[in-house]
Amino acid sequence: MIYRSNLRCPDLDPAFIHTFRTVGGCNHDVLHDEDFDRGCGYMHHDEAAILYHIVKAVGGSWAEIGTHTGWSICHAALAAETVVGIDPEFKQPEFLTRTEENINACDLPINVELYAGLSEEFFGDNEGRYDGVIVDGCHSSPAPVHDAQMAWAHLKLRGAVVLHDCVGQPTYDAVQFLIDQGLQWRVYNTPQMLTVCWGGDITMPDHTPDPAVDWKSVRAEMPFDWSRES
């Protein structure tokens, strides 16, 4: 099923025509590209809606580490002023063409810039600072922590880092790094436990999770001190 909470956003499903669905975590449907890395699922629909509202609350310029074929960055582009997607897979012409096709089909209000390379290459060549960074690249250690470190180094004082797939130790470690820098944090109850860390006067959106899921048990498996959650 596709779970839709109190947080809604424009429906981008019709633009992503080269996809198929599987049943993912929490019995929620997840989209995959039919031709490229079929095992790599997009953000669940509810997670994409949360991302849209986070970007809307923060505004400004955003960068995404691990753009894949464009699902999440298109949701971000609906609310940001500028976005850039970073992915080494863009070096493959067929992969880049698919991503550009998906982006163009969304009829977005802004242009999406795509960077073909690794996150360290992008940030190593770029001294700019961003209002927000989405971390959704390689989930194997130490990549998530490295991505979080680069995001922090290029984040404005009033800014946010959104981390997907916070269901494994490497991403937990990335979140903990950002918490240790003094950022506020919130883990949204979604199949991949979408997490946001932020600094400054930002009011993050409140989310009503799927009532059919025992979220208390899910959270009990995560190594956070929940009394410190913002």
Domain-by-domain residue ranges, the chain?
13-228
Q: Contact, 170 vs 142, CB < 8 A?
A: yes
Return the pLDDT at 160. Answer: 98
Nearest CA to 204 out of 192, 218, 193, 188 is that of 188
pLDDT at residue 215 tops 90: yes
pLDDT, tens only, 24-83:
999 999 999 999 999 999 999 999 999 999 999 999 999 999 999 999 999 999 999 999
CA distance 72 to 130: 17
- The one-letter amino acid at 225: D
Return the pLDDT at 105. Answer: 98
Homologous superfamily of domain range 13-228 = Vaccinia Virus protein VP39 (3.40.50.150)
User: Mean pLDDT throughout 164-180?
Assistant: 95
CA distance 223 to 204: 22
**Quick check: pTM over 0.95?**
yes
Exposure b/e, 162-175, CB count within 10 A at least 16 = b: bbbbbbeebbbebb
pLDDT at residue 128 tops 90: no
CA distance 193 to 172: 10
Q: Contact, 40 vs 50, CB < 8 A?
A: no
Contacts of 28 (CB under 8 A, 6+ apart): 1, 2, 3, 44, 45, 46, 191, 210
pLDDT at residue 86 tops 90: yes
